[in-house]
Structure 1
C-alpha cells in the first residue's frame, strides 16, 4: 500500500508512464511549433529577397510580377483563366518544354484569382516544386494538350501536402504584404542604389 505521508521538502513524486508520455507529446508539439515558426520566417525572407530582386514595387500587380519572374527565368509564364471543375483544383501549373502554363479558376473573384496565381507562380514555380505521384488528372481541364507535351504538373487542391502548404503560405504572405502597402507606397527612386539605401534606413512595409 503506498504511503499517504506528504513528501518532504525538495522531494518529487515519481513520473508515471502516462505522465512521461504527456511530456513527450508536449515536447514534440513545442518542437513542431518552433520548426513552423522558423520555416515561416525563412519563407518570408526568401520571398522578400525575390520580390526585391525582381524590383517589384507597390501597388502589387500580379501580372507584372509574373512577367518579371518570366524574364528572370528565361521562360514565358502564360496565365489563362479557365472554367475548372468546382470539385477539382482551383489552379494548375503545367510545365512544357517551352513555357509554363498557369490555369486559374475563371468563375471566381479577381482577388481569389490573384491568390491562385501567386500560389502557382510564387509558390510552385519559384520553389521548383515536384508533383506527388498520385496527383489529380489534368487532361479533363486541358483537353487537346497531349501528355507527352507536359513535363510537370502541380495542382492546387491538397493543403496537407508540404509543397502545397508552402505554396499557399507564399501566396498568403504576398497578398498580406500587398494590403499593407496599398495606398501607402513610398516614392519610387529611379536609382537602384538609392532604393537600397531607402530599404536599409526606411520603415519596413511588406517586402520593401
Structure 2
C-alpha cells in the first residue's frame, strides 16, 4: 500500500510494521492501566504488577557517557534514577522507559560492591547495589522494548483523562521512526 504525501503529492513508501512496537502496544494494552495524570502516578500500579517496591528519584550522571536514566536494584527495591537537569517531559519519558524495563522483567548486570559506575542515586549506597539496568544502545531488543513501552505509557497518560482510544496510525509512525535503528 502506498500513501500520498500531503505537501507535494509524491508517493510515499509505506512504513513497515515493527514487530517489537506491535508486541509492546499489545502488552501495554493488556496491562489495564488506571487513569493517571502523570507517568509517575503509575509507580504503585507497576509495583503491584511486578511484586516489588519502586522508588523514583533524581540520579545524577557523573559523566557525559553515562545514561540519563537507570534502574538500580538493591535490597529488593528497584530504584529508578533520572537526570534532574533535563526537562520534566524528558524526565517523565526516562521514568516511563525504566518502568518498561521493570514491566517486561528485563534484568540488568550484576555489579560488584563499591561499584565505580559513576552514578549517584540519592542516598543509595553503591556498596549495596545488586543489579544495574541502564541504556547501552537502542539496537538491543530490550532497549527497543523499553522505548516502545515508554511511548505507549506516555500516550496512556495523555489520553487517560478522556475515554481511551486506540493508538493512531500517525502516532504509530512516530513511534516506529523513533525506534528505527541505523543499520
TM-score scaled by structure 2?
0.67
What are the ranges of 5 or more consecutive residues in structure 2 without an aligned counterpart?
1-14, 168-183
Q: Provide closer, same or farther for how the CA distance between residues 70 and 110 of structure 1 changes in structure 2, counting only shifts above 3 A.
A: same
More helix by share: 1
Contact 2:50–2:103 (Cα < 8 Å) also in 1: no
Q: How many residues align?
A: 147
- Counterpart check, 1:47 vs 2:8: no
Q: CA deviation at 1:114?
A: 0.4
Hey, what does 1:139 align to over in structure 2?
Answer: 117
Q: Provide closer, same or farther for how the CA distance between residues 73 and 88 of structure 1 changes in structure 2, counting only shifts above 3 A.
A: same
TM-score scaled by structure 1?
0.60
Q: CA deviation at 1:138?
A: 6.1
Hey, what does 1:97 align to over in structure 2?
Answer: 75
- The 2-side partners of 1:157 and 1:113 are apart by 18
Contact 1:120–1:156 (Cα < 8 Å) also in 2: no
Hey, what does 1:158 align to over in structure 2?
Answer: 137
Q: Provide closer, same or farther for how the CA distance between residues 138 and 63 of structure 1 changes in structure 2, counting only shifts above 3 A.
A: farther
Bigger-Rg structure (1/2):
1
Hey, what does 1:171 align to over in structure 2?
Answer: 150
| Correspondences of 1:58-77 after superposition (within 5 Å) | 59-77=36-54
Superimposed CA distance per residue, residues 150-174 of structure 1 (whole angstroms, 9 cap, x where no aligned partner):
2321112421222111111111222
| Correspondences of 1:184-195 after superposition (within 5 Å) | 185-186=162-163
Q: Secondary structure at the match of 2:70?
A: strand
Contact 2:60–2:120 (Cα < 8 Å) also in 1: no
- The 1-side partners of 2:21 and 2:102 are apart by 18
- The 1-side partners of 2:39 and 2:136 are apart by 21
